[in-house]
Chain A
Amino acid sequence: MPEIKELVKQLADKHGRNRESLLPILQGIVTEERYISDFAMTEVARELDMSAALVYGTATFYSFLDTKPRGKYVIRLCKTITCDMKGKKQILRTLEDLLKIEVGETTKDKKFTLLETNCLGWCHKGPAMLINDEVYTEITPEKVSEIIGDYMKNR
Chain B
Amino acid sequence: MAKTVNLKIDGISVSVEQGTTVLGAAKQINIHIPTLCYHEDLCVAGNCRVCVVEQEGAKNLVASCAMPASEGMIIHTNTHKVRNARRHVVELLLSEHNADCTKCYKNTKCELQNLASEMVITEPMFIDLVPFKEYKIDKQSPSIIKDNSKCIRCQRCVRTCHELQHVSALGVAYKGDHMKISTFFENPMYDVVCTNCGQCVNRCPTGALVEKNYIDQVWEAIYDPNKHVIVQTAPATRIALGEDLGMESGSIVTGKMAASLRRLGFDSVLDTDFTADLTIMEEGTELLTRLKKALVDKDTSIKLPMFTSCSPGWIKFIEHLYPEYLDNLSTCKSPQQMFGALAKTYYAQKKGIDPASIVSVSIMPCTAKKFEAARPEMRDSGFQDVDLGLTTRELAVMIKQAGIEFESLADEKFDSIMGESTGAAVIFGATGGVMEAALRTAYELITGREVPFKNLNITAVRGMEGVREASVKLENVLPAWSFLEGVELKTAVAHGLTNAHQIMEAIKKGEAHYHFVEVMGCPGGCIGGGGQPIPTTPEIRKKRAEAIYREDEGMKLRKSHENPEVIQIYKEFLGEPLGHKSHELLHTHYVPRKRV
Contact = CB atoms under 8 A, between A and B. Distances in A.
Given A52-B184, A52-B193, A57 B173 contact: yes
A60 B184 contact: no
Nearest to B185: A38
Interface string A45-77: 110001111111100110000000000000000
Q: Residue among B169, B174, B184, B192 with the most chain A CB within 10 A?
A: B184
Nearest to B175: A61
A53 B169 contact: yes
A145 interface: no
A60 B596 contact: no
Interface residues of A, number: 15
A41 B184 contact: yes
Contact of A42 (B169, B170, B596): B596
Nearest to B180: A60
B595 A56 contact: no
Contact of B192 (A53, A54, A57): A53
A57 B182 contact: yes
Interface in B137-192: 162, 167-175, 182-185, 192
A57 B193 contact: no
Contacts of B595: 42, 45-46, 52
Contacts of B192: 52-53
Contacts, number: 54
Nearest to A46: B595
A53 B175 contact: no
A53 B403 CA distance: 43
Nearest to A59: B173
Contacts of A56: 171, 173, 182, 184-185
Contacts of B182: 53, 56-57, 60
Contact of B168 (A38, A42, A51): A51
Contacts of A53: 168-171, 173, 182-184, 192-193, 596
* Residue of A41, A46, A50, A51 with most partner-chain B CB within 10 A: A51
| Contact-size category for B | 10 to 19
Interface string B353-376: 000000000000000000000000
Q: Which of A38, A41, A53, A56 has the largest count of B CB atoms less than 10 A from its CB?
A: A53
B171 A45 contact: no
Contacts of B171: 51, 53-54, 56-57
Given A53-B169, A53-B192, A61 B183 contact: no
Contact of B173 (A42, A45, A61): A61
Contacts of A45: 595-596
Given A38-B185, A41-B184, A60 B168 contact: no
Interface string A82-95: 00000000000000
Contacts of B174: 60-61
A53 B191 CA distance: 12
Interface string B560-596: 0000000000000000000000000000000000011
Contacts of B185: 38, 41, 56
Interface in A112-145: none
Contacts of A55: 184
Contacts of A57: 171-173, 182
Contacts of B162: 51
A119 B192 CA distance: 36
A56 B175 CA distance: 12
A41 B192 CA distance: 14
Contacts of B167: 51
A139 B596 CA distance: 45
Contacts of A54: 168, 171
A32 to B, nearest CB: 20
Contacts of A42: 184, 595-596
A50 B173 CA distance: 16
* B168, B175, B192 pick with most chain A CB within 10 angstroms: B168
Nearest to A55: B184
Given A42-B595, A51-B168, A53-B184, A60 B193 contact: no
A46 B594 CA distance: 11
Contacts of B183: 53
A42 B172 CA distance: 17
A5 to B, nearest CB: 14
A56 B168 CA distance: 11
Top 3 closest pairs, chain A to chain B, by CB: A51-B168, A53-B171, A57-B171
29 contacts: A38-B184, A38-B185, A42-B184, A42-B595, A46-B595, A51-B162, A51-B167, A51-B168, A51-B193, A52-B184, A52-B595, A52-B596, A53-B168, A53-B169, A53-B170, A53-B173, A53-B184, A53-B192, A53-B596, A54-B171, A55-B184, A56-B171, A56-B184, A57-B172, A60-B174, A60-B175, A61-B172, A61-B173, A61-B175
Given A52-B192, A61-B174, 11 more contacts: A42-B595, A45-B595, A51-B168, A52-B184, A53-B170, A53-B182, A53-B183, A56-B184, A60-B173, A61-B173, A61-B175
Interface of A: 38, 41-42, 45-46, 50-57, 60-61
